[in-house]
Amino acid sequence: MAKVIDYYFICSSPFAYLGHPAFHDLAAKHGAEIRYKPIAIFGVWEKSGSVPLGQRTPVRQRYRRIELQRIADIRGLPLNLEPKFFPVDSSLADRCAAVLVEQGKDPSGYLWHAHQGVWTNEENIADADQLAIWLTAEGHDAQAVLAAAQESQAAAIIAKNTQEATEVDAIGAPVYVLNGEPFWGQDRLDYLDHALSTGRAPFRA
């Protein structure tokens, strides 16, 4: 039976950045297909009860900073805790990812550029010219992708993905879904690895 992982994410998530190499290595290890599903994070938060970073309590904001440093250390990845362009609107970048998926292209290289752009390279993920550089670097037709990202179809894909994410009880991003079972956060990749290795039935609430 084919192994398929639905991957719900936004391009500006530090946790998607920190989990990106490990997740893709895990999928390759198990021969699993990744279905990339960029979402509108506010639509997920509205259903899960989560709030934007600036609205979280000081305790949670401080703990997040510790967690990010801890994960970066474990993953062996550089991380700027206070990037120049964050918080940032990643919606155009996310729609570009949706367009690549719709075109049957592999968006992983572009996503890695976007993640690194925010969290290590001080680049503006909301800048169309910057997105064009990343798209071109991965061999995509940047202008065509950016034009399509402004069309209603791209927005409709994001809305559909967001609805799907809420239906599987996504709490935030990233979320990896295997056989309808959600694994929230890159720190659940070991759990996902175990589920793929054992082939166990999905757990239900």
Q: What's the pLDDT tens digit per position in 4-41?
A: 999 999 999 999 999 999 999 999 999 999 999 999 99
Residue 146 inside a domain? The answer is yes
Average pLDDT score, the chain:
97
Residue 59 inside a domain? The answer is yes
Residue 205 inside a domain? The answer is no
Give the pLDDT band (50/70/90) at residue 52: confident
For 73, 86, 92, 137, 193, the CA distances from 161, given in Å and listed in that order, are 31, 24, 15, 26, 23
Residue 204 inside a domain? The answer is no
CB 9, CB 184: distance < 8 Å:
no
Beta bridge partners of 5: 34, 178
Output the 3-class SS for 49-92: CCCCHHHCCHHHHHHHHHHHHHHHHHHCCCCCCCCCCCCCCCHH
pLDDT computed for residue 55 by the predictor: 87
Backbone angles phi, psi at 35, to 5 degrees: -105, 110
| CATH number for the domain that contains residue 33 | 3.40.30.10
Number of domains in the chain: 1
pLDDT computed for residue 89 by the predictor: 97
Backbone angles phi, psi at 200, to 5 degrees: -65, 160
Q: What domain range is 134 assigned to?
A: 4-198
Q: What's the pLDDT tens digit per position in 101-157?
A: 999 999 999 999 999 999 999 999 999 999 999 999 999 999 999 999 999 999 999
